[in-house]
Amino acid sequence: MAEPLDTILPLTSLTEDETLLRDTVRQFAQQEIAPHVRAMDEAQHLDEGILRQLFELGLMAIEAPPELGGGGASFFSAVLAVEEISRVDPAVAVIVDVQNTLAINALLRWATPEQQRLWLPRLAQQTVCAYALSEAGSGSDAFSLTTQARADGDAFVLNGRKLWISNAQEADLFLVFATINPEAGYRGITAFMVERGTAGFTVGHKEDKMGIRASSTCELLFDDCRIPASNVVGESGKGYKIAIETLNEGRIGIAAQMLGLAEGAWSLAVKYSKERKQFGKPIAEFQAVQFALAEMATQIEAARNLVYNAARMKGAGIPFVKEAAIAKLFASRVAEQVASQSVEIYGGYGFVRDYPMEKFYRDAKIGSIYEGTSNMQLATIGKLILQ
């Protein structure tokens, strides 16, 4: 596989530790994930051995402190891991992305020390945590959610239904957003940690998706599900703040996923163009193919700079919301464009499942939808540039 365009600039240069992480994850993805990609896609199931190895490599709690079992690394390191896995299989990258940029980020910022000691070691060692915000009537309008949490002594009783919850099939912990006061609007939203197996809580229907099929997406059902008050994450009524700020960070992870997807598709297109012969010579020698590869390379380089810039800003404590939205918007567009053009370079072979390109094409579409649609990113960017 051709290497991505690792231009050495101040923005995109990596530290020694970051380079080691990138190279380790790249090797793991190529050697351990790649042989299972097609089978996982067809089975719509993440290989349990791969999930176990993700924990063993320390990729499921990259930012968590070492004393709680984590890697003690940076947000940027988590972004690098998502990018590298996505070069081989964006579906596997979802479980690493959600665990790190949403679940663990939320716990590091808003959980009490006692809660962190309870949950973070589990997330580092063997437990997947899903992030449950979306509902049938609340997608982009996330705060119109209707799942309710009624106070009852030293507990809350949850009732409602969540949809489109990534990693729900594999998860044993769920960060669930519900309202304790529907009349208060977004000020009633509260975050709860819910354990799989809790009475009244069921992981329901698993969606049959177009792309990222090895990544599970399920509904969650709450029917008088009783949760201890000690499982409230952050303050009651402040769940909207947790949701907004974690999604702002999570968008950089999705941008990294789309960047990695584009890199993977482009690398395969380059390799194939050197092997495929027409009219007596490799198609790479035709100017039209060279121009297509050059256009893709330019888009990927621009996307990488946007993604890395947003991640570095977040890590440095600099306001990054606009940059995160720009990175996600642009990287998702690049992923679709590069995947589509790569299918064309493969020709008829790009349209069949015997080759990996059609899967990259199917996987690319989700980038413009989840963790904020492209229209929502445009709205965010427009609002912030006019302030």
Q: Are 25 and 84 in contact (CB under 8 A)?
A: yes
- How far from each other are the two terminal CA atoms of the chain, in whole angstroms? 45
In DSSP notation, 338-354 reads HHHHHHHHHGGGGGSTT
**One-letter amino acid for residue 203 of the chain:** V
**∠ CA 367-86-49 to the nearest 5 degrees?**
125
Distance CA 339, CA 333 (A): 10
CA-wise closest residue to 262 among 291, 298, 214, 286: 298
Task: Please name the residues in contact with 280: beta carbons below 8 A apart, sequence gap of 6 or more.
Answer: none
Distance CA 263, CA 5 (A): 8
Which residues share a beta bridge with 232?
A: 192
Distance CA 80, CA 74 (A): 10
Alpha carbons within 13 angstroms on the beta-carbon side of residue 108 total 24
Distance CA 274, CA 285 (A): 8
| Tokens describing residue 251 | 């968008």
Which residues are known to be catalytic?
371
Q: Are 158 and 200 in contact (CB under 8 A)?
A: yes
CB atoms within 10 A of CB 14: 17
CB atoms within 10 A of CB 230: 12
Distance of CA 221 to CAs 133, 152, 191, 196, Å?
Answer: 13, 19, 16, 11
CA-wise closest residue to 130 among 97, 101, 98, 178: 98
Distance CA 44, CA 298 (A): 33
Alpha carbons within 13 angstroms on the beta-carbon side of residue 243 total 29
